[in-house]
Structure 1
């Protein structure tokens, strides 16, 4: 069962941020000093049981994010993965990004007999800029660790508008790409797996993973409290859509809808 898509940034901040940041400050101690924020919360959503599944589950997942305060982020999306900006010029942000991947068990009837996908992560970088005051473009590229050995790239464009000082609506298109090693982990079916599961063998290449659209309504209840209602649709393409797992047991159409609430704590070290 798929669980947390947005997870603790603490380990990522330690792994990603300290070495590079220390070069720009007076050692690690100098970089640690200053203003920080810790955001905690939860998301409840209805989403596919696994990538390509036609079965939907209701799940509740925690949200934990730790970062160093700097220029205020003009826009953020639930699709943004853990990130640490190394360059922040307001209209342009570039930095490091990471994602935690939970284990995919094979206890779901549709994929029973397939090898489970181990838990792991993805590390890489992000680039985002604002061509207009109300439009953000963001790209991430990440290398898989443990769960898969492939490369994943995500591109998202979001238009946003503040209906009131506390309510914002946003949305836009998304597209995702992946290498053959990623598709092999999540969509490939070996001869042994085929014999155990009854799903046809499939050896994928690389290419487009999915295209879709997402949107959200965000309500800033107070300075530290934010709530959101979101919905997304994606259509699996390329090696994902052609996978025998999707064709024989799943669906190319993937929907997600949910609500979230977070609370931000500000502190100084």
Structure 2
């Protein structure tokens, strides 16, 4: 190993959680040994959303960051929810998740029955290819009677160590059935009359495609900071909804956390 590679490895390995935070459900190459017991990451983050879940405005939220991991088998994160790697091999992972689905914001100037906070039960599988490229996807269904809809998601991603930290880049496509689309982008006849807009009942199919970048940076031995930026383009029937005045969605966030255990 060259001195440069040793330095890059040290940048990522010295952080308490840089390796595991992105690898719990996806089998990227391990940059540090898997935890032998429980680890808990506590911190805080700021998330900016523009035109998210059908909202036509923007919103900035400050929230705590809480995640936990048991030997890369059972894990909890704000993004993936509660997960279990039923199959955990070096280059393949498959499992189940109980994923949060956050409530849709009100749309300024309209009186609508917007979906509240819910949860999806998901099954996933991801495979690592040469070059530390991971492909796979998941299928999930609402289990909280918010939409009773089904969503599918497929992605291809790459992860590498940089002089700054651990960088993950991915592109994805997502879709769903008509129940999911209607819950977030449909307009009933009653809502149409009350708001002076057209009634709309979207069908199922591809709903969006996007790209995400996620950077994890070590701060000493037990602390780390991260940043996320995500751009998504709406597609299909949801893009034609009167609730989607822009087909572009942007999300960005930063967080800092400390690891306990491990």
Q: What is the TM-score when the length of structure 1 is the normalising length?
A: 0.75
Indicate whether 1:258 and 2:256 are aligned: no
| Runs of at least 5 residues in structure 1 that lack an aligned partner in the other structure | 1-33
The size of the alignment, in residue pairs, is 225
Counterpart of 1:60? 62
1:219–1:226 CA contact under 8 A, matched in 2 = yes
| Runs of at least 5 residues in structure 2 that lack an aligned partner in the other structure | 1-35
Distance 1:40 1:147, change over 3 A: farther
2:160–2:166 CA contact under 8 A, matched in 1 = yes
Distance 1:234 1:97, change over 3 A: same
Name the structure where helix makes up a greater proportion of residues: 1
Distance 1:80 1:51, change over 3 A: same
Superposed, 1:64-83 pairs within 5 Å as 64-70=66-72, 80-83=80-83
Give the CA deviation at 1:265.
2.0
Indicate whether 1:97 and 2:92 are aligned: no
Counterpart of 1:15? none
2:175–2:206 CA contact under 8 A, matched in 1 = yes
**Counterpart-to-counterpart distance in 1, 2:72 and 2:211:** 30
1:52–1:254 CA contact under 8 A, matched in 2 = no
Distance 1:252 1:196, change over 3 A: same
Counterpart of 2:161? 162
**Counterpart-to-counterpart distance in 1, 2:203 and 2:116:** 21
- TM-align CA RMSD: 2.5
Counterpart of 1:40? 42
**Counterpart-to-counterpart distance in 2, 1:264 and 1:53:** 35
Q: What is the TM-score when the length of structure 2 is the normalising length?
A: 0.77
**Counterpart-to-counterpart distance in 1, 2:78 and 2:206:** 21
Counterpart of 1:149? 148
2:99–2:122 CA contact under 8 A, matched in 1 = no
Give the CA deviation at 1:133.
4.1
Counterpart of 1:134? 132
2:114–2:184 CA contact under 8 A, matched in 1 = no
**Counterpart-to-counterpart distance in 1, 2:89 and 2:219:** 28
Distance 1:224 1:133, change over 3 A: farther
SS in structure 2 at match of 1:245: coil
**Counterpart-to-counterpart distance in 2, 1:241 and 1:212:** 14
2:159–2:168 CA contact under 8 A, matched in 1 = yes
1:65–1:82 CA contact under 8 A, matched in 2 = no
SS in structure 2 at match of 1:184: helix
Indicate whether 1:211 and 2:209 are aligned: yes
Indicate whether 1:224 and 2:226 are aligned: no
Distance 1:67 1:78, change over 3 A: closer
Give the CA deviation at 1:214.
1.1
**Counterpart-to-counterpart distance in 2, 1:209 and 1:223:** 41
SS in structure 1 at match of 2:243: helix
SS in structure 1 at match of 2:194: helix
